[in-house]
Every structure is written in C-alpha cells, then in structure tokens.
A = this chain, B = another copy of it.
Amino acid sequence: MKFWDRENKRVYLDWAAATPLLPEAKVAMLPFLENDFGNPGAIHQEGVIAKRAVEGARDEVARSLQVRPEFVTFTSGGTEANNLAIIGTVMNLRAKKHEFHDMEVITTHIEHPSVLRTMDELVRRGVTVKYVPVDEKGRIIISDLRELVSSKTILVTCSYANSEIGIIQPLHAIRKVLKQAEEKFSTKIYFHVDAAQAPLWLNCQFSSIGADYVSLDSAKCCGPKGVGLLVRSNRAELKSVEFGGGQESGLRPGTENVSGIVGAGKAILWAQEDWKDRSENVSKIRDEGIEYILKTIPTAVLNGEEGDDRIANNINISIAGIDTEFATVVLDKNGFAVSTKSACAGAGGGESTVVKAISGDPARALSTLRFTLGPDTTFEQIKKMTDVLKEHCDKIQKYPVK
C-alpha cells in the first residue's frame, strides 16, 4: 500500500490542493520536532545541528533543480515565494531610483490568487500591470506578448502549469520573446514562473524552465505545509518583503522552520527524481478518464488543453447548470474528494476566474469541477466517481433548481 492510500479507501482527487506527506520526509523531520530543536542562528552545538539541517536541505533542493545552493531561498509557502519574487523585484528597482510609474509587469488573468492579488498591490503602488491574452485553452498568445512587451517591462510572471485547468505554458517561447525584447530595448526583463503544481509531473531543472525566478511549494509535492521556496538566477536581484533578522541571505527574515525545510528538501528531491515515469503513467489515466467523463455525461465539457500541454494529473470540466458545490458534497459523501477550483480561490461556490477568462462564459465558469489525480489513481476510480456524478446530474435534471 502506498503512503497516499488512506486506509479508509477514500478516493482522493485533489492533489492540486494538498498532497500527503512523503514518509521519508516525515522521518527526516522528526528529530527536529524532538531533540534537535536548536535555532540555526545560534553558534552552539544545538544551533549548528539545526543550521546544518537547513543547509543540507538547501543542497538537496539545489542538486535536484541543478542550481547553486545560495540561489535557493526558503519561504513559508508558494504564496510567499510568489510575493517575494514579484514585489521583491519591483522594490529592488525602486531602491535603485526607478519610479513605480516607469515599471510595467506582464501577467495573465488566469494566474493563482497569490499572483493576481499581488498584481493589485503593484497597481496600488503605481506600477502598470498588463494582462497578456490567453487562448481558449489557457495558453499565453505569444504574438500578443510580443506586442505587449515594452521598454518599461521589468517582469513577466506566469505559471508553469495552471492550478485549475492544467495548461502548461510555452515557457521557452516566452523566454525567447523576452530575450529579443531585452536586446531591442537594452533592458532587463525578469521572468518569474510559479511552478507550484509542477514538481511531481514536470521537469523543474532550473535551466530547463529558463526563468529568473521559480516558485515552489513543498505542500504540493508531498512535503509539509508551511514551506515554499524561491529559486533565482545569478542575475536576479531582490529586496525582501518582510523585515527582520538576516536569515536566508537577508531575503526572508525569521527563525527558519527547520523541520519543515528538511521535509521540503526530501519531498522535492523525491518528486523530481521520478517525475517523467509518474507523469507518463498518470497522463494515460487522465486521458482515459476525460474520455469516459465526456462520454458518460454528455453535457460535460473539458476546460483547457488536451494531451501533452496539459499537466499529467489534471482534469477540469464544466457541466452546464449544475451547482458544483453541491456536486462536490455529494461526491464527498460517496467517498470522492474533488474540488470546484483552486483552494486558494475560495472553498465553495463562485465562478472560476480562470475558466471565465478562457471561455468568456460565466455559466461555464460557474459550473467547474476539478479532479487532480495522484500517482496511483486508477481509471476504475475515475470511472466510479463519474458514475456517481452522472447519477447526481440525472437526479438534479429531474428536479431542477429555479
């Protein structure tokens, strides 16, 4: 039995929201929840043990992502990593006397709330934020990006794989546009990629992503909650978003969460070791599942791309007219944990801003269901879940709400 196979035989299809903790990660964390409680900032033995653990985890992450350890900053989660990359870049330029109104940041309307709400904050500070259009699958339109980029553009930020619809962005094409623009304008345009959903399913080697900043979240790849990290290129420069002690090279103050950091190191290492096989196996289940769902529930439509440009474990559908919060509860009662959208976008009802942006269709955006698979999810499980959902749809068809 794998560690994510809960004894009570629930079928957990919300891996994009939370993942079980890797047992090796837990084992590695335990000493730091027991005898080894020192503060890494102290120079005595207890401190040295803690410091060594933090730096060991940093080395593991660095090896796994193929970067230098000093370019790995531990944060309290993916949200904080995104905030640090975005606000940190802007405030670093501000400290160098760039005016806010001379800065432009480009993103999309389908990013995670930790990016979208940070954009709102940039606008409050006077920065111009431009939203590059995405196509009906959620993919950034490269020709539109090329037109948007200007001599004022300082940062472009997007997800590696979208947390709701799973579209994998064309990072290399984006990078190419930015490089060309940098040459044309003789400027620096930093590129930030939110890769929170990626480590279990996609290659996260830093050079392969090709960004200046990559955000990760331990809790999305079988590490503990409360730990994220920001990896940066050697040309990247940041100011911290919070202020205090000089921990994490001055980029992230506060006593290090030693046990969490140790667990995060193990999880990222494990996730990346095997992403390719894991991805190949699960994408087959995903595709069979999508086919079965669309066949069984004729009113269902798939949101996002099909095939290789969709993250291996994501299925996202809309079923016109259904109350998806109700459907989620019915599925839950029948043993299936699924979600309507991103957990950070609010637990319950309300439309998906992502599906609204790609479809322009409020009804479709209101009726989304997301199934995010784990490494051992079977087609049989998706099939059973679909049958329960189908039955529910038929039932509400007979007794429609006003």
Chain A residues near B (Cβ < 8 Å): 6-7, 10, 12, 14, 17-21, 26, 29, 33-35, 37-39, 41-47, 50, 76-80, 82-83, 112-114, 117-118, 120-121, 217, 219, 224-228, 241-247, 253-260, 325, 328-329, 331-332, 336-340, 342-348
Contact = CB atoms under 8 A, between A and B. Distances in A.
Residue from the set A78, A217, A257, A331 with the largest chain B CB neighbour count within 10 Å? A257
A194 B259 CA distance: 25
Given A18-B255, A44-B328, A76-B76, 11 more contacts: A43-B347, A45-B337, A47-B337, A47-B347, A78-B255, A80-B254, A82-B244, A113-B245, A114-B254, A225-B255, A244-B344
Contacts of A47: 14, 17-18, 337, 343, 347
A254 B224 CA distance: 13
A246 B346 contact: yes
A32 to B, nearest CB: 8
Contacts of A254: 76-80, 114, 228, 344
Contacts of A120: 243
In the complex this chain forms, how many copies of it are found? 2
B43 A18 contact: no
A76 B80 contact: yes
Top 4 A-B residue pairs of the complex, sorted by shortest distance between their CB atoms: A226-B257, A245-B344, A114-B244, A41-B343
B244 A241 contact: no
A151 B243 CA distance: 27
Contact of A43 (B83, B241, B258, B329): B329
Contacts of A80: 76, 242, 254
A10 B45 contact: yes
A338 to B, nearest CB: 7
A109 to B, nearest CB: 16
Given A328-B43, A344-B255, A245 B33 contact: no
Contacts of A46: 10, 12, 14, 18, 337
B225 A332 contact: no
Contact of A242 (B14, B37, B79, B245): B79
Given A225-B260, A226-B76, A255-B225, A44 B339 contact: yes
Contacts of A331: 44
